[in-house]
Chains A and B, each alone.
Chain A
C-alpha cells in the first residue's frame, strides 16, 4: 500500500487566492482526519470524517475553510480566500479502527504571502 497520499507537497500562494489540498486515504480505512501543524499551536484537528460523513468540524477555524469527502478514496480541504496566517503544514490521516491508530500522510506545506 502506498500509504496516505497528499498533494501538493508544497504550495505557495498569494493572499486572497483559493487553495485546495488533496488527500487519498489508505484503501479500506473508514475514518479520515485533517490536521494543521504550526510552531505556535502545535497539531490541531480541523475536521474528521467517518464513512465519508463529517463527524466533527469544530476545529475548522473559520468559514474560509471547508472540507469534503465525496467518496471513500478522496478528500479535499479548501481555503478561500487564503490569508498569511493560514501558513502551516496540513496533514491528512486515515484509520480503520481506533486500536490501530492513524496513518499520516507526508503533509502539504502551505505558504501564503
Chain B
C-alpha cells in the first residue's frame, strides 16, 4: 500500500523567508505526486504535479517541488513567503495502475506567515 508522510503539521515562517514543506512517500512503482493548497473555507486547489517528466516542477504562486527518487521525497519550496501563502498544504501520491485515479493524501501542513 502507498502512503504519504508530511513532516510537521504546523510551520511558521516570516514574510520574505523561505518556505519548505516536507513530503515523503512510499510506493512500489514510480508514482504520480501532487501538492494541493487549501485556503480557509475553501476546497483544495492543485499547486503542482509530478508525472515522470522533469524532476523539478514549477507550480502556481511561485511554488516549486523536486522529485528525488533516492530519497522518496517531494518537498515543496517557495523562496520568499507572502502573507497570502497562509493556508494548509497537502501532498498526495498515486501509482496509477490498479489504483486507478485514487490519490492518497498526507495529513497536511498548516503554514502561518508572520509579518
Beyond A101-B49, A107-B43, is A45–B108 a contact (Cβ under 8 Å)? no
User: Does A105 lie at the interface of the complex (its beta carbon under 8 Å from any beta carbon of B)?
Assistant: yes
Beyond A50-B101, A91-B43, A104-B44, is A99–B32 a contact (Cβ under 8 Å)? yes
B94 touches A98 (CB 8 A): yes
A98 touches B96 (CB 8 A): yes
A99 touches B42 (CB 8 A): no
Complex: A95 Cα to B90 Cα, angstroms: 17
User: Does A48 lie at the interface of the complex (its beta carbon under 8 Å from any beta carbon of B)?
Assistant: yes
Our pick among B45, B49, B51, B96 for the contact of A104 (Cβ within 8 Å) is B45
User: Does B100 lie at the interface of the complex (its beta carbon under 8 Å from any beta carbon of A)?
Assistant: yes
Complex: A80 Cα to B102 Cα, angstroms: 26
Residue on A with the closest CB to B43? Answer: A104
Complex: A97 Cα to B51 Cα, angstroms: 11
Q: Mark A89-105, 1 if CB is under 8 A from B, else 0.
A: 00101010111111111
User: Does A56 lie at the interface of the complex (its beta carbon under 8 Å from any beta carbon of B)?
Assistant: yes
The total of Cβ contacts below 8 Å across the A-B interface reads: 58
Main secondary structure on A side of the interface with B: strand
B34 touches A101 (CB 8 A): yes
Q: Mark B92-103, 1 if CB is under 8 A from A, else 0.
A: 101010001111
User: Does A70 lie at the interface of the complex (its beta carbon under 8 Å from any beta carbon of B)?
Assistant: no
Our pick among B92, B100, B107 for the contact of A31 (Cβ within 8 Å) is B100
Q: How far is the CB of A21 from chain B (nearest CB, A)?
A: 14
User: Does B105 lie at the interface of the complex (its beta carbon under 8 Å from any beta carbon of A)?
Assistant: yes
B32 touches A98 (CB 8 A): yes
Interface residues, chain A, CB within 8 Å of chain B?
A: 4, 31, 33, 42-43, 45, 48, 50, 55-56, 91, 93, 95, 97-107
Interface residues, chain B, CB within 8 Å of chain A?
A: 32, 34, 36, 42-46, 49, 51, 90, 92, 94, 96, 100-103, 105, 107-108
10 closest A-B pairs by beta carbon, nearest first, are A104-B43, A31-B101, A99-B51, A104-B44, A43-B105, A101-B46, A106-B43, A98-B101, A101-B34, A95-B101
